[in-house]
Amino acid sequence: MDSARNCAERVLRIVNLAFSKSGEIATTQVWAEVFGLNSERAIQDPHEVWEKLRLLRIEIDFVRTLMAKTTFPDDIYTPYLDRLTAVVSVPNISSQWKGYKGNIQPDTILALRYCSEIIQPEGLISTGELQNLLDLILQLREEIKDTPFSPGTQDFLLGQLAIIEGGIRDYPLSGAAAIAKAFHEGFRTPSNPAEDVKDKQGYSKVMSAWGGLWKLSKDVVHMDNVIKLMGTCVERGTPLLTWSVTPLN
């Protein structure tokens, strides 16, 4: 599936997927399937579903914010966005989906479609390119797991890969904000310096993964000063160990 043009189209695609699910199954299962999560695990522990729903609420609020900046009266979209907020703000996530599905009516879908046409399109990252980078991340993870590193190094490298992977997987839901969040959370200086060749090779591989994400996203993500600094490090090939960026709160 191609990347959505803007936040309203992202929400629309997700809502359409949820609406297509049977009302007789648990709400947890519905959202787990929509977000590509393991539904059996989600039923036992829905924290991943809650996190994705939190991101979806942010997107719905973003639609509201952008529409408020247009000349269109708010009564043509606000009631429908309120319904969607009610759908994703589920007080009882283990209950049957039909208890929430009723809020998704044809007029709600139509209003969201209008919003997706009115809101200006964003820059896009190809889902194919993101999948290629995700495949690289998964390959690197296995390589790092199979390589003996000095204490703490493996955990650090795997943690960096997890941040990149999270940004990629959340892109269809949060767009460029997911990639920007990855840059904000990433690029940490490890507590232990590289002690041997294997460590340095591991850092180099993770550096290549950050570089891949930067190349895909630098024309899409709104770059503040911290992210620009990170990107400059990537483009210059600055060793990972020399980075010292204060995390954003």
Q: Which of 17-26, 44-53, 223-232 is least confident? A: 223-232
- pLDDT higher than threshold 60 for residue 246: no
- pLDDT higher than threshold 80 for residue 219: no
Q: Work out the angle at residue 91's Cα, subtended by the Cα atoms of residues 86 and 97, and round it to the nearest 5 degrees.
A: 70
Give 2's pLDDT tier (boundaries 50, 70, 90). low
Q: What is the pLDDT of residues 105-153, one digit of tens each?
A: 899 999 999 999 999 988 888 888 889 999 999 999 999 999 988 878 8
Q: Work out the angle at residue 204's Cα, subtended by the Cα atoms of residues 225 and 154, and round it to the nearest 5 degrees.
A: 100
Phi and psi for 166 in degrees, rounded to 5? -60, -40
Q: Is the pTM of this model over 0.85?
A: no
- pLDDT higher than threshold 70 for residue 69: yes
Q: What is the pLDDT, as a whole number, of residue 26?
A: 94
- pLDDT higher than threshold 60 for residue 47: yes
Characterise 244 by phi-psi region: left (phi > 0), alpha (psi -120 to 50), beta (else). Answer: beta
